[in-house]
């Protein structure tokens, strides 16, 4: 299914005059306070977030899965789903593939389909947290960290194969997330596991094309509950430094222990030029993979404040690769992703409203109260008219979620694919 521009424009008709009034009102107010509104709206319009191929079906649980029906059963259908999201939101202009779940059969046709949907291929993700069909070696006791050289070699080769697949699609980065770790004290020699991982990553790094980046993701626990080899940003940062200048740390919001100050981690990594990628989601307890901004929107805003500051002040840090990494069991995944994209745009817009010069002046004076006021004035501004304006500029929907419902997209997908079509992946 493909949404026609006319359909989206029709769905906008009802709300466009109210939007105009709301946008003009806010725009006048902000202009009076010295905000360059057209520049801000353009930044929002330019901001693109990759959608992972595994977020389009029901998932996020090791217990029962409850399908929302009409899930994409093939890579082609996953690309079409992201295309629909992008047509409505104009914020989802990239797809991130997971290998081996999404190996293309016809690369030319897949690239063409992506282009027709105005999508590019973002980072490719390797998978050594599951045993692959017909694989000779098992990852039961780890992959890149495994005590056995043969197992490590298989895992290294898989990552090199993934780079090859990504090259044929036009990807420019490889994301490595390792489940390696120990479930019980005494199971691992920590130093051996870390050294093996570092040496394996160096071999993968050596196979990286010149214009590629390697993103090393970290996570404190799960599926191993006693220790994880790459458990935190410091370990990832150390490994990225050991590999070289094309290797970076990747921050996933859900991969922290409760109450970790993620904005400070972001700030430190950008100062050191090592924040390569960023995975959005939200959580209450652990790696919950909930909708972005659904639980801790203020934390998301504070993180965006550091991202905006880093993008403006740290030329040593490359422009980060943005991706949503969420997957759960209850909502229509497309509606969930639209809510996430909206939350990301809102947090970004609010962070852009912070008057950095005024904040620095207040910090110099140690005016703690004013510092908080500056942040919260920005946070309390209803920026939704700016986000809508950015979408309108690019031909998207005023309200993507309501357009998705009124255009009966899910119903059409169920009709096209059948009710019990299941997405491949987790
Ligand atoms: Mn992630």
Q: What percent of the chain has pLDDT over 90?
A: 92
- Here the tokens at position 267 are 């700030």
* Mean pLDDT of the region 131-135: 93
Return the pLDDT at 166: 98
Return the pLDDT at 162: 98
Q: How far is the CA of 406 from the centre of ligand 1 (A)?
A: 32
C-alpha 159/C-alpha 153 separation (Å) is 10
Residue 8 has pLDDT above 80, yes or no: yes
Residue 282 has pLDDT above 80, yes or no: yes
* Mean pLDDT of the region 259-285: 97
Q: How far is the CA of 244 from the centre of ligand 1 (A)?
A: 22
- Alpha-carbon torsion (375, 271, 269, 338), positive or negative: positive
95: which strand partners? 51, 121
Q: How far is the CA of 33 from the centre of ligand 1 (A)?
A: 38
Q: How far is the CA of 30 from the centre of ligand 1 (A)?
A: 35
Q: How far is the CA of 326 from the centre of ligand 1 (A)?
A: 8
Instruction: Say if residues 80 and 72 touch (Cβ distance below 8 Å).
Output: yes
Distances from the Cα of 401 to the Cα of 43, 102, 413, angstroms? 22, 27, 16
Residue 184 has pLDDT above 70, yes or no: yes
Q: How far is the CA of 154 from the centre of ligand 1 (A)?
A: 23
Residue 2 has pLDDT above 90, yes or no: no
Return the pLDDT at 426: 58
* Mean pLDDT of the region 20-30: 98
- Chain segment 232-263, per-residue pLDDT in tens: 999 999 999 999 999 999 999 999 999 999 99
Q: How far is the CA of 217 from the centre of ligand 1 (A)?
A: 7
- Here the tokens at position 174 are 């490889």
Q: How far is the CA of 211 from the centre of ligand 1 (A)?
A: 22
Q: How far is the CA of 17 from the centre of ligand 1 (A)?
A: 40
C-alpha 255/C-alpha 288 separation (Å) is 9
Task: Give 419's pLDDT tier (boundaries 50, 70, 90).
Answer: confident
Name which of 109-113, 129-133, 236-240, 340-344 the model is least confident about.
129-133
Q: How far is the CA of 44 from the centre of ligand 1 (A)?
A: 23
Return the pLDDT at 241: 98
Does the predicted TM-score (pTM) go above 0.85? yes
Q: Token pair 């690019």 is at which residue?
A: 394
Q: How far is the CA of 252 from the centre of ligand 1 (A)?
A: 5
Q: How far is the CA of 279 from the centre of ligand 1 (A)?
A: 5
Task: Give 63's pLDDT tier (boundaries 50, 70, 90).
Answer: confident
Instruction: Say if residues 230 and 196 touch (Cβ distance below 8 Å).
Output: no
Task: Give 21's pLDDT tier (boundaries 50, 70, 90).
Answer: very high
Return the pLDDT at 308: 98
* Mean pLDDT of the region 326-343: 93
- Chain segment 216-226, per-residue pLDDT in tens: 999 999 999 99
Return the pLDDT at 425: 65
Return the pLDDT at 57: 87
| Count of helices and strands (H, E) across the chain | 16, 11
Name which of 62-66, 84-88, 117-121 the model is least confident about.
62-66
């Amino acid at each position: 299914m493909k949404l026609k521009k006319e359909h989206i424009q029709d769905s906008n008709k009802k709300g466009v005059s109210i939007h105009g009034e709301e946008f003009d009102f806010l725009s006048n107010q902000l202009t009076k306070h010295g905000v360059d509104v057209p520049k801000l709206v353009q930044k929002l319009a330019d901001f693109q977030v990759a959608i992972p191929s595994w977020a389009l079906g029901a998932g996020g649980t090791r217990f029962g899965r409850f399908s929302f029906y009409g899930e994409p059963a093939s890579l082609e259908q996953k690309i079409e789903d992201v295309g629909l999201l992008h047509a409505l939101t104009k914020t989802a202009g990239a797809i991130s593939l997971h290998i081996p779940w999404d190996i293309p059969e016809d690369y030319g046709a897949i690239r063409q389909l992506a282009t027709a949907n105005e999508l590019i291929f973002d980072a490719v993700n390797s998978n050594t947290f599951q045993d692959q069909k017909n694989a000779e070696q098992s990852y039961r006791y780890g992959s890149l960290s495994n005590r056995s050289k043969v197992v490590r070699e298989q895992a290294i080769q898989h990552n090199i194969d993934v780079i090859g697949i990504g090259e044929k699609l036009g990807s420019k980065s490889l994301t490595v997330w390792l489940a390696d770790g120990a479930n019980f004290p005494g199971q691992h020699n920590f130093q051996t596991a870390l050294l093996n991982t570092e040496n394996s990553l160096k071999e993968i790094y050596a196979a990286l094309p010149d214009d590629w980046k390697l993103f090393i993701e970290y996570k404190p626990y799960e599926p191993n509950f006693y220790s994880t080899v790459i458990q935190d940003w410091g370990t990832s940062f150390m490994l990225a430094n050991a590999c070289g200048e094309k290797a970076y740390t990747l921050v996933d919001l859900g991969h922290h222990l409760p109450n970790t100050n993620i904005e400070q981690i972001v700030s430190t990594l950008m100062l050191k030029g090592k924040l390569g990628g960023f995975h959005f989601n939200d959580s209450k307890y652990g790696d919950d993979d909930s909708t972005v901004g659904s639980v801790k929107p203020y934390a998301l805003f504070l993180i965006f404040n550091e991202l905006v500051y880093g993008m403006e002040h740290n030329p040593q840090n490359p422009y980060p690769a943005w991706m949503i990494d969420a997957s759960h069991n209850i909502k229509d995944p497309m509606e969930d992703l639209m809510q996430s994209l909206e939350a990301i745009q809102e947090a970004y817009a609010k962070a852009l409203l912070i008057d950095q010069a005024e904040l620095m002046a207040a910090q110099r004076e140690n005016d703690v109260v004013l510092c908080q006021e500056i942040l919260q004035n920005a946070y309390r501004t209803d920026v939704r008219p700016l986000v809508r304006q950015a979408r309108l500029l690019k031909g998207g929907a005023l309200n993507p979620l309501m357009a998705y419902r009124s255009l009966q997209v899910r119903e059409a997908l169920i009709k096209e694919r059948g009710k019990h079509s299941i997405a491949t992946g987790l």
